Every structure is written in C-alpha cells, then in structure tokens.
Amino acid sequence: MRLGINTFLFTCPFTNESTAWFKTFKKWGFDSVEIAINDPADFCPEHVKAELDKAGLVCGSVCGAFGPDRDLRGNAAAQKNSIAYIKACIDHMVALDCPSFIGPVYSAVGRIGGNEPKEYARQWKLVVKNLKTVCKYAEKQGKQICMEPLNRFETDFINTCDQALQMVKDVGSPALKLHLDTFHMNIEEKNQAKAIRKAGKLLAHFHACGSDRGTPGKDHIAWPEIAKALKAVKYQGDVVIESFTQDVKIIAKAAAIWRQIEPSREGIAKGGLKFLRKTLA
C-alpha cells in the first residue's frame, strides 16, 4: 500500500514547473504523487515522468477536475467536453505510467439542487451511457477509472458507496472501480468501515483526509476501524492525502476553505503521513 500526496495542496494548475515539489515530497517520505490535472495542455507528461523518476517517485493517480463545462449528465457540449477531457487525461496517464484516473467523473462538482425521480433516472441513464464510452477507452489503454461519491453539498447525484456500486454494476466495465474519501464518507455514510467492506474488491483508490479537511489523525474519524476494514478487503491501492489550505486560492474557494484549518500545509503533509504510516502499518 503506497502513501501519496495530492498536488492540489501545493499548486493549481499543475505545470512542468510544479515538478519542483517532487524532491520535497520524496524527502518527506511519500511513495507516490496524485497529479491534479486542470487542463491536460498545462504540462508535458513525458517531462513530468522524467522528473518523477529523478525524484524516486511514481504517479499513482491522476485527479480529475470537473467544472460546469465538464459534466457527463450536462448539456451536449458539457458531455462532449468531459469525455474529451477524460480521454486526454488517460492519454497522459499512459505517458506517466499511471494506473488510475480518480474523482467525481459523473458530474460537475457543485451541481446541486436535487431532481424529481424521473429526471434523476434520465440523468442516471445518460451517465451510464457516457461512462461506458470513457471506460471502453480506458480498457484499451489498460487504465482504470475510480469513481468518487461526494457529499451532498458538492453533488446531488452520487453521495454514497451504495449509489456508486449501483453505477458500477449498471456500466458493467472492468475499468470502472470505486474511490472512497474519508471527508465525504464522514458526512454521508452511517459507518465508514462498513462502506469500505461493502466496496470490497471494487475499492481501487482511497483518500485520507481529516473530518474538517485538515490533517488525517487530528480529527474524530474512526481511523483504527478504517485501517481494519482496508486490511479486511485486502486493499492494495494508494492511500492519498487530499487536504486543502488557503495557500492555493482557486482550490480554497472551490473547497470552501474560509479559515486557517491547520498551521501549515507542510504540517498536513508530514503529520498526516506519519499518522497514516503508523495507523495503516
């Protein structure tokens, strides 16, 4: 089980220059980097791969960014843009030797308001159709798409492990897996450990984040139970710290970080990594 860090904590957008952080990530003790791609044109994947190799790190995952113009349940243009974006990210993953594309691939983040059952069912069928398209592309490239349920304040579409499992079943592609996040589960799941066990072998990616978006371990989340559940399902994927601070303004606004949650982002990274190494050992 590798422990990784999401680049959103330190930079956005991710560019060739952002690779300067790799040496620091390695020094702190991380095994992998989760590269958040705002626009695939922002960097050269071959250059980034060379810098990862130089630092002794791997790209364990590529994190998708889904705004209003990238929405598999949106209008025709948003659907087309999202499909093209996901395919471009998968192409980058080939050059990066990265196995997983992760995130809320089904919808634009922040799209909330709720839908009547008939409209929800229509959107569900639309997402199934579009996910089949991108999953087929991922299969051909030997990559996987790890779909993340978000909390109710960030999406009105897929909030729980149960809903995500139903989507995986309906899409029916071996490339579609689950991605669970402790922050979102803390809001939506009755019991995080039980959700992990329910995901079972379909769980392919995991975000470790404090209940307040801060440092893993400095919160009320039941980490020992989560560790036992990950062990029970024989989880072998990456565990990635995805926390946010006010340092990266665009991400702070998107994640509603209106106050200083922790003294520093370095503290989140180093403290979280030390806690997770001990807890997940």
* Residue of 34, 51, 189, 242 marked catalytic: 242
For 228-257, the pLDDT digits (tens) are 999 999 999 999 999 988 998 989 898 999
* DSSP summary character for residue 121: H
* Residue of 51, 148, 189, 262 marked catalytic: 148
* Residue 280: predicted pLDDT: 96
* Residue 265: predicted pLDDT: 95
* Residue 61: predicted pLDDT: 98
225 annotated active-site: no
* Residue 157: predicted pLDDT: 98
Nearest-angstrom CA–CA distance, 196 and 88: 30
Confidence of residue 185 (pLDDT cuts 50, 70, 90): very high
Residue 53 CB partners (closer than 8 Å, separation 6+): none
Written as one letter, the residue type at 269 is: A
Bridge partner list, 151 = none
148 annotated active-site: yes
Q: What's the fold here for domain 3-279?
A: TIM Barrel (3.20.20)
Computed on alpha carbons and rounded to an integer, the radius of gyration of the chain in Å comes to 17
Q: Classify residue 11 as exposed, middle or buried by CB count within 10 Å of its CB (0-12, 13-18, 19+).
A: middle
Task: Answer whether 39's CB lies under 8 Å from 66's CB.
Answer: no
Quick one: tokens of 51? 């810098």
- The arithmetic mean of pLDDT across residues 157-179, rounded, is 98
* DSSP summary character for residue 120: H
* Residue 156: predicted pLDDT: 98
- The arithmetic mean of pLDDT across residues 198-226, rounded, is 97
- The arithmetic mean of pLDDT across residues 145-161, rounded, is 98
For 36-69, the pLDDT digits (tens) are 999 999 999 999 999 999 999 999 999 999 999 9
* Residue 54: predicted pLDDT: 98
Nearest-angstrom CA–CA distance, 221 and 226: 9
* Residue 105: predicted pLDDT: 98
263-269 long-range contacts, Cβ below 8 Å, gap at least 24? Answer: 265/9, 265/10, 267/215, 268/9, 268/214, 268/215, 268/241, 268/243, 269/5, 269/9, 269/25, 269/28, 269/30, 269/241
Quick one: tokens of 225? 């139970």
3 state SS of 178: strand
- The arithmetic mean of pLDDT across residues 101-118, rounded, is 97
What is the share, in percent, of the chain residues with pLDDT greater than 90?
Answer: 96
Q: Kindly report the three-state secondary structure assignment for every residue of the chain.
A: CCEEEEHHHCCCCCCHHHHHHHHHHHHHCCCEEEEEECCHHHCCHHHHHHHHHHHCCEEEEEEECCCCCCCCCCCHHHHHHHHHHHHHHHHHHHHHCCCEEEECCCCCCCECCCCCHHHHHHHHHHHHHHHHHHHHHHHHHCCEEEECCCCCCCECCCCCHHHHHHHHHHHCCCCEEEEEEHHHHHHHCCCHHHHHHHHHHHEEEEEECCCCCCCCCCCCCCHHHHHHHHHHCCCCCCEEECCCCCCCHHHHHHCCCCCCCCCCHHHHHHHHHHHHHHHCC
3 state SS of 213: coil
Which pTM was predicted? 0.97
